[in-house]
Amino acid sequence: MLKSMTGFGRGEYIDSTHRIVVEIKAVNHRYNEIVIRMPKTLGSLEDRIRRTIANTILRGRIDAFITVDEYGEKKKAVRVDKELAMAYHNAMRDLAGLLEIPSTDNIYHLSKYPEVLKVEEVTEDVECLWPKLLTAIEGAIGNLMKMREAEGSNIEQDLEARVDKLQTYIATVEERAPQILVEYREKLLSRMRELLAAAGAEPDETRLLQETAIFADRTNFTEEIVRLKSHLAQFHTTIKSPEAVGRKLDFIVQEINRETNTIASKANDSTIANVVVEIKSEIEKVREQIQNIE
C-alpha cells in the first residue's frame, strides 16, 4: 500500500503525575528530516525519540512537538554554597578584627547572605519518564500513519487510473505504427510519379522499396513500445509493494518519459505526435502525485 508523506498525528499520556502530549506533522521532503521541539529537561532522550520516529516514518520532513505537564507538589531541596559561606565568614571575621569589635557572625546571619542558601526543585529522572513519553509518541505515530495510509490509498487509485490511460494511449500508438509506413509509401510513390511524368517514365519499384525500407528502419519504435509496456507493468507492481517506493516510482516515470520522447522523435507522424502530447501530460500528472509518496 502506498503511503503519503503528508499527515498529522497526536498522542497523549495522562496519569496522576503527568500529562504528556506529542504532536507530529509530516510534509514532503526528498530525505528523512526529523525536527524535535521539546523541554530542555528531555534532552538526554532526544536520540531515542528520533530513532523511534525514524523506525516507522522513512521519508519526509517530520516536525515533532512534545509538551510535559507535571501534577502535584514538586519536590524541593535546599543547596548550601559552602565556599561562599566560608568566604562570608572569613570576611566578617577580618572586618571585626580591623574594627576591633567582637564578631557577631553566626550561622543564622550567614544563611541570610545572598546565594548562601538556594531552594531548588528536584529534577525528575527522565529515565522514569521515558515509558510514558514512548506511549505518547507511539500514539502520535499511529495516528499519523493512519492519515498517511488513507491519503496514500487515494493516490494509488488515481495512479492506477492514469496508468490505464497511458496503456490505452500506447495501444493507439502501436496500432498506428503500420499505417505510417503505408502512408509514407503512398506519398513517396505519388511524388515519384509527379517528377517522372514529364519524362514519361514509370517509378522504379526497386528504388521505391529501398526508400521505404530506409524510412521503416529510421521510424521503427517497436523496442520503445516494448520497454514502455514493461515500465508500466513495473509501475503497477511497485505501487502494490508494502515498502517505501516513492523514489523507485520516480525513476520508473523518468524511464517512461524517456521512451515517450524517443517515440515522438522517431515516428514523424502528426497523429502519434498528438497522442504523445496526451501521454506526456499524463506523465506529468503522475510525476506530481508521486512527489507525495513515501
Q: What is the pLDDT of residues 82-141, one digit of tens each?
A: 887 778 777 777 767 677 676 666 676 766 777 777 766 656 678 889 999 999 999 999
Choose the weakest-confidence range: 201-205, 225-229, 284-288: 201-205
Most confident option among 39-43, 167-171, 207-211: 167-171
Q: Which residue do the cell numbers 569589635 mark?
A: 101
Q: What is the CATH number of domain 7-72+125-148?
A: 3.30.230.70
Provide the residue type at 178 as one letter.
Answer: P
Give every CB contact of residue 18 below 8 A, 6+ residues apart in sequence: 68, 69, 70, 71, 129, 132
- Provide the pLDDT confidence category of residue 211 given band limits of 50, 70 and 90: low
pLDDT tens digits along 46-63: 999 999 999 999 889 999
For residue 241, the model assigns a pLDDT of 86
Domains in the chain: boundaries: 7-72+125-148, 76-121, 149-290
Distance from C-alpha of 167 to C-alpha of 51, rounded to nearest angstrom:
42
Considering just the CA atoms, what is the radius of gyration of the chain in Å? 38
Q: Average pLDDT of 145-166?
A: 94
Instruction: Dump strand ranges (E) for 75-201.
Output: 76-80, 117-121
The better pLDDT of the pair 76, 229 is held by 229
Q: What is the Cα–Cα distance from 45 to 62, expressed in whole angstroms?
A: 17
Other CB atoms closer than 10 Å to residue 191's CB: what's the count?
11
Q: Out of 75-79, 202-206, 258-262, give the one with best mean pLDDT.
A: 258-262
For a pLDDT cut of 90, what percent of the chain falls above it?
Answer: 47
Q: Do the beta carbons of residue 24 and residue 141 sit within 8 Å?
A: yes
Give residue 143's pLDDT.
97
Q: Cite the beta strand spans of 131-211 per DSSP E.
A: none
Quote the DSSP letter at residue 122: P
Q: Is 104 buried (19+), middle (13-18) or exposed (0-12) by CB count in 10 A?
A: exposed
pLDDT at 42 over 80: yes
Does the structure show a pLDDT above 70 at 242? yes
CA dihedral sign, ordered 28, 29, 30, 32: negative
Give the three cell numbers for residue 128. 522514569
The DSSP-derived string for 126-192 is HHHHHHHHHHHHHHHHHHHHHHHHHHHHHHHHHHHHHHHHHHHHHHHHHHHHHHHHHHHHHHHHHHH
Query: Which residues, other chains included, contact 282 with Cβ-Cβ below 8 Å and sequence gap of 6+?
Result: 162, 165, 166, 169
